[in-house]
Structure 1
């Protein structure tokens, strides 16, 4: 039986450690280094198990890993220099002065204690995860005015009992199963102009809420996503997910707008690149304009991908989505291969269903090309490379292919039916009355 070495995650704070080599255990263990300057994540690097790393090689890897983010911050501050030479030549003092200068605009001088944001957590039968998440949210440097827990078709009262420990948290029991159903219930219960979603299995960075709030200080931003960093990489399943299916969308700011949408329309806008549902937020007014989450795309229905489908509609309406890598959460990936394969199956099933629904909304979005041309070639090569052992990336091939076929079949059966709640109509409000609301 093949044994997979765990990867230890180290957060390297360059503003304190500068250019010194971190102390790493390498024997029978890989390392995943995440580089920070104070509260700003800049990049990461994987180091293979048993890989010894001399200082010169470490500095080369460091410079390469943080180059895209550092260059963006330097360009935005109009202060670009040949900073890599300070790293290669080991001149930490000069580099530190320059780094402080280019990042100064992104360090908040004053942080409000409380901001007008509703944070929605959709959960089901994961009381221990939920409790940890709620503790962290209430210990942030900047807290939201409202936290709402949507208990989605629970089989017991464990989540309710956890929420009872937190006086200011609103508990809503939603009896209809489905993540997008739960999200829509959370939106309709939220009272703040900004609605942020976070998964119950994430840890939030101390400045997460503040960074979400800062993003929406730009009135042109309709929605945002943030950086998702793995919290654990101990198992093969977690490593496969992070290396091939990661929620991490990088360390640079990104704008997704009408230009992004129109330039990618004829080969299908890759809206899945925008972010992850584990770390996203919206102006509440957006849902009145483009509709609520499509409940047809729930796990147990199409699969998932309700978040990507929502981003598609937002962009199709000419609105802007912003990726802010300073809004950080840490996600716990599934530990077991069986769980990962199930997750990937539903990802692909939901992705195909969502893509075909998007093309139905806009026939110019040529997602069929992915299904008929790109994917057959891609998976033929993937199977050929993985044969006969199917290790690493190849572990999930069959789950992916089954998901694609299942998603296509689902669309053919259900594609004519639209389940997107467009606004808070009387019908939508009647649905909400099925949810049991408890205020502590």
Structure 2
């Protein structure tokens, strides 16, 4: 292992050995000197033996570590990767994404350009549709698929602008100062769609005076699993977003639930029941208005109980 790599590329994976191979190969093909970065794969797969067997094919590769982490959860896996990292900067890449050869180099340039206050640097996420993109998926719904495009200028992001965790790097000292990624949030297995873990870290960094920087040349391609292109998945995703917001911002969620309750009281009980019955049966043509109502209904249930 190199004694002082500049960056640690951390790939967290869970039961995706087929797709993570392409992710790993894309990082092995980075165009910076091999001594300047390391690769850490944190395998959260349920079958430890299979994980170790898969990781064995990378034995002997310079500055490469493959570890099996038995405790489930994406946030935990990311924290494990950060603690194992030797570099001051950790760059996270999901197991269904691939990076171009200049990815790490461009992330490094972002830190250099904005100096020590640059705590987080990330870039665009371009979707790769394994199956055809749904015709009902409008641009205002793209965020639920981790699609990120903040334009062609390298700049500090505004408070309301965000980076996706599948293309997200951070200085380790800033991450540890923020308490790491919350293990109460983030994906855990195949059923949970909890999120907000990167958002909370970014908010903590900004509160301490750090900058979140966007580098358009540090893009990655993100493969969209066919299971995510259904209206049912998107409805689940929105319901879990409400749960994530309640867990991460309980006071704000209470205020939102009060507003939602007022809005829903304007409809009769029968009208609400008919709307949600039709929405749950619908398998296509989901809209942002539909998702907004699902979100607020879940907030009401969680925060008010009625």
The interval holding the TM-score normalised by the smaller chain is 0.7 to 0.9
After TM superposition, give the deviation of residue 377 of structure 1 in Å.
Answer: 6.0
Cα displacement (A) at 1:354: 4.5
Q: CA offsets, 1:222-279, max 9 Å, x none?
A: 11221101122632459738762242233233413xxx55xxxxxxxx4xx3110000
Instruction: Kindly indicate whether residue 117 of structure 2 is the aligned counterpart of residue 220 of structure 1.
Output: yes
1:28-39 → structure 2 map (5 Å cutoff):
none
Alignment partner of 1:295: what SS?
Answer: coil
Q: Which runs of 5+ in 1 are unaligned?
A: 1-113, 262-269, 414-440
User: d(CA) in 2 for partners of 1:348 and 1:123?
Assistant: 24
In structure 2, the residue matched to 1:334 is: 225
Cα contact 1:130–1:159 (8 A) shared by 2: no
Aligned-partner Cα distance in 2 for 1:185–1:238: 39
Q: Is the 8 A contact 2:5 2:86 kept in 1?
A: no
In 1, distance between residues paired with 2:172 and 2:245?
24
User: Is the contact made by 2:133 and 2:229 (CA closer than 8 Å) also made in structure 1?
Assistant: no
Q: How many residues align?
A: 277
Partners of 1:279 and 1:392 in 2: CA distance: 29
Give SS of 2:216's match. strand
1:392 correspondence with 2:289: no
1:197 aligns with 2:99: no
User: How many Å separate the matches in 2 of 1:354 and 1:221?
Assistant: 27
Distance (Å, rounded) in 2 between the aligned partners of 1:195 and 1:317: 19
Instruction: State the partner residue of 2:70.
Output: 175
Partner of 1:420: none
Aligned counterpart for 1:161 among listed residues 50, 53, 73 = 53
Tell me if the contact between 2:42 and 2:68 (Cα under 8 Å) persists in the aligned partners. Answer: yes
With the length of structure 2 as denominator, give the TM-score of the two structures.
0.75
Moved more, 149-158 or 238-247: 238-247
> 1:321 offset after TM fit, Å?
0.7
For the aligned residue pairs, the C-alpha RMSD in angstroms reads 3.7
Matches of residues 304-323 of structure 1 in structure 2 within 5 Å? Answer: 304-323=195-214
In the aligned structure 2, how far is the partner of 1:347 from the partner of 1:172? Answer: 33
Structure 1 Cα separation of the partners of residues 284 and 41 of structure 2: 39
The 3-state SS of whatever aligns with 2:109 is: helix
1:306 to 1:408, Cα distance in 2 relative to 1, 3 A: farther
Distance 1:127 1:338, change over 3 A: same
TM-score scaled by length of structure 1: 0.54
Q: C-alpha distance in 1, partners of 2:86/2:164?
A: 23
Q: 2:41 aligns with which of 120, 128, 149?
A: 149
1:299 corresponds to: 187
Contact 1:302-1:353 within 8 A present in 2 as well = no
**Alignment CA distance shift 1:391-1:341 (3 Å):** closer
Residue 207 to residue 337, structure 1, CA distance change in 2 (3 Å) = closer
Q: Post-superposition shift, 1:183?
A: 0.8
Q: Provide structure 2 residue ranges, at least 5 long, that are not aligned to the other structure.
A: 268-274
The structure 2 residue matched to 1:130, chosen from 20, 26, 32, is 20
Is 2:88–2:172's contact at 8 Å kept on the other side of the alignment?
Answer: yes
